[in-house]
Amino acid sequence: MCGIAGFVYSDRTRPASRELVKRMTDVIAYRGPDDEGHAIHGNVALGHRRLSILDLSPLGHQPMYSSDGRFAIVYNGEIYNFIELKAELESLGASFRSTSDTEVILEAYRHWGPNCVERFNGMWAFALLDVKEHKLFFSRDRFGIKPLYLLETPEGLFFASEIKAILTARPSARKANRRAIFHFLPGGMLDDGPETFFPDVFQLPQAHNAIYDTATGRMERTWAYWQLDAEAFAEKWVGKEPVESLWELLQSSIQLHMRSDVPVGTCLSGGVDSSTIVALMCKFRSAPVHTFSGLYPDRDCDEGKYVDLVNRHTNSIPCPVYPEPNGDLVDDIQRITWHQDIPTAGPGLYTQWHVMKRARQNVKVILDGQGGDELLAGYVPYFRHRLHDLLDTGGFSGRLAAIRLSLQIARHWGTKWVARDVASRFLGGGKVGGLASRKALGLWRRMKGPAAAAPPETPFFHPSLAAECGDVGFQRNRPQRMKTRLDNQLYWDLAECSIPALLHYEDRNSMAHSIEARVPLLDYRVVEYSLGLPASYKIRGSWTKWALRECASRVLPPEVAWRRSKMGYPTPFARWLRQEPDRSRIEEIIFSREFRQRELVPEESVRGFWKQHQDGADRSWLIYRYLTLELWHRNFIDAAPAPSQSFAT
């Protein structure tokens, strides 16, 4: 895990500046405090900051060159199956000087060219220079676990792991993308496309390669190397015993993700995903595993019962953190916002930040459970899609199955999780039986309930922003890629709507503290398995993630494997907004002259939502977005980022 940066001048005769690329890597030094390296090849500059995880010797130094000197690479990530790939390459005649996975990438590229990435199981973003052919090859892992940003200008191409490194080289790119802000504010959507909050800076999409011609100064080709094929995935990974297949894949993934030459720990929220990872890590390691948890006493945030249960059951070493601000909440959120490079959607980042900060005291690598909910339908709103799918099958049996599931959902989760459009379909297609029909009608009546409180009468957006952006921030085309509504929603949550933002948050929060975060549930084999898995193994009865729970029950107490409550990264930000001294500091920022003059949100709307929250309604997530949006402007638009502004310590 590291930080990379570099640039290519369009003018081939212009020598690249070592001092400039060093400034780019200095600003992200926390991503790699163990070593640094820079290389100049004519108009091309490559820069690297190293966090040593595999092969801690100087042989792992980057930029790393192939044995013949033709290829040079700067790389951020881990290729977990590098041992197996190394053996295969040795059988083809390759020789190795180091035990690093970086050298395996170089040799794989020498033997297989750009197609080598299809053999990788891991997370990566790298730039690989072919000195002879004057080509710069970029690649990003299948699900975008590792970041890679690009800025193309008439002067040349600039790239880096974090946007602030690009802004250091080209301060003129410090402009706010107001269309991205328009897209972000209502629901916190971000990273669901190549655009960023800076109009000229873009991401290389996940599962994509690109080739840039350093002689002509043109992007030669960009292409996707991984494609969705649910039927092929099902045939390859699911098999006749889906639960057994998942069990084998989970064990294999955990073992691969534990490969490291430094200590490895894990996050533990008490949920099924993280708890299963803890249990499997303990199964494969004789020494106790360090677990890191963010805990609060608030009733709606308290995961302590489940965290304690898992730690006792696995004999792991608990490392809890109890982050409770006292006048320093804004300071912490400012640090988080600076490291994230963007305004962020919700206060869970605060908890995650403090978990990573605590983890740095004991380990250098941490495993986390991102992805399980989006792959295996772990969120309660997914029930709606499953109900529609049952109704779409048509006939008596489909409608009856939908009604039975609706009643189970209402019993265990509450009627609000059965959407009104689903309930209306129950009553629109004839009789399905007396008792079931009467229960469905009663459920529909209970769901109607009182109307939601009306929002403030002022517009949500400032009129100038609304006029600028029209009806939408970005156009998103999300066609039907899967056969069922549930599977289609899960796919798009993986590809755009949920996972990319969560991975962004985790990468920046962990790297701010020089921690490598790994996500074993996003092992590509587990992802492909999940995309090919029938819906009945995801949602069964009123259970979410049914197949995973079946696996978890082999290594966890039933109170954890079959718990229904779900919190994620709970943070009592709503309470903090009502208590001094943090309340006054936040109020001062969101009602500041600076925020008002940006013409993003009408001041009357901000005051309306603030008053609603102080009167007892929960508007904490929206207020959090206002806060981080203003802090982001102050950090990146009003002032250029500089190494001295790193807030990690």
pLDDT in tens, 328-337: 999 999 999 9
Average pLDDT estimate for 505-529: 98
> Given 224, 250, 276, which residue is the final one in a domain?
224
The answer to whether the CB of 276 falls within 8 A of the CB of 313 is no
The answer to whether the CB of 310 falls within 8 A of the CB of 275 is yes
Taking alpha carbons only, the member of 23, 70, 78 closest to residue 45 is 23
Is 641 a member of any domain? Answer: yes
By mean pLDDT, which of 297-301, 387-391, 454-458 is the weakest? 454-458
What long-range pairs does 322-327 form, CB within 8 A, spacing at least 24? 322/294, 322/295, 322/296, 323/294, 323/350, 323/351, 323/354, 324/296, 325/576, 325/582, 326/581, 326/582, 327/581, 327/582, 327/585
Domain harbouring 341, CATH code? 3.40.50.620
What is the model's pLDDT at position 426?
Answer: 62
Judgement on whether residues 320 and 238 belong to the same structural domain of the protein: yes
Judgement on whether residues 187 and 330 belong to the same structural domain of the protein: no
Judgement on whether residues 206 and 100 belong to the same structural domain of the protein: yes
pLDDT in tens, 631-641: 999 999 997 55
Average pLDDT estimate for 212-220: 97
Is 410 a member of any domain? Answer: no
Average pLDDT estimate for 354-361: 97
Judgement on whether residues 351 and 214 belong to the same structural domain of the protein: no
3-class DSSP assignment, residue 628: helix
Residue 163: pLDDT band with limits 50, 70, 90: very high
> Given 208, 224, 240, which residue is the final one in a domain?
224
Judgement on whether residues 498 and 633 belong to the same structural domain of the protein: no
Judgement on whether residues 372 and 296 belong to the same structural domain of the protein: yes
Judgement on whether residues 106 and 179 belong to the same structural domain of the protein: yes
What is the model's pLDDT at position 250?
Answer: 98
Is 439 a member of any domain? Answer: no
Please name the residues in contact with 630: beta carbons below 8 A apart, sequence gap of 6 or more: 589, 590, 592, 594, 595, 598
Q: Which residues constitute the domain of residue 183?
A: 2-224
- Percentage of the chain exceeding pLDDT 90: 84
Domain harbouring 61, CATH code? 3.60.20.10
- Is the predicted pLDDT of residue 300 greater than 80, yes or no? yes
Is 447 a member of any domain? Answer: no
* Beta pairing, strands 365-367 & 317-321: unpaired
Locate 591 and state its tokens: 């009602």
What is the model's pLDDT at position 648?
Answer: 45
Whether 2 sits among the annotated catalytic residues: the reply is yes
292 forms beta bridges with 267, 319
Is 490 a member of any domain? Answer: yes
Judgement on whether residues 183 and 258 belong to the same structural domain of the protein: no
Judgement on whether residues 492 and 546 belong to the same structural domain of the protein: yes
Residue 417: pLDDT band with limits 50, 70, 90: confident
Is 154 a member of any domain? Answer: yes
Comparing 291 with 472, the larger pLDDT belongs to 291
By mean pLDDT, which of 348-352, 470-474, 569-573, 589-593 is the weakest? 470-474
Q: Considering 2, 267, 319, 497, which one is annotated as catalytic?
A: 2
pLDDT in tens, 238-261: 999 999 999 999 999 999 999 999
Is 619 a member of any domain? Answer: yes
- Distance between first and last Cα of the chain: 19
What is the model's pLDDT at position 420?
Answer: 65
- Is the predicted pLDDT of residue 203 greater than 60, yes or no? yes
Cis peptide leading into residue 557 (ω within 30°)? no
> Given 524, 541, 561, which residue is the final one in a domain?
561
Judgement on whether residues 69 and 209 belong to the same structural domain of the protein: yes
Residue 412: pLDDT band with limits 50, 70, 90: confident
Is 218 a member of any domain? Answer: yes
How many domains is the chain built from? 3
367 forms beta bridges with 266, 518
- Is the predicted pLDDT of residue 226 greater than 50, yes or no? yes
- Is the predicted pLDDT of residue 445 greater than 80, yes or no? no
Judgement on whether residues 199 and 320 belong to the same structural domain of the protein: no
C-alpha distances in Å from residue 24, one per residue of 37, 50, 354, 602, 649: 12, 14, 27, 37, 20
Judgement on whether residues 183 and 46 belong to the same structural domain of the protein: yes
What is the model's pLDDT at position 438?
Answer: 42
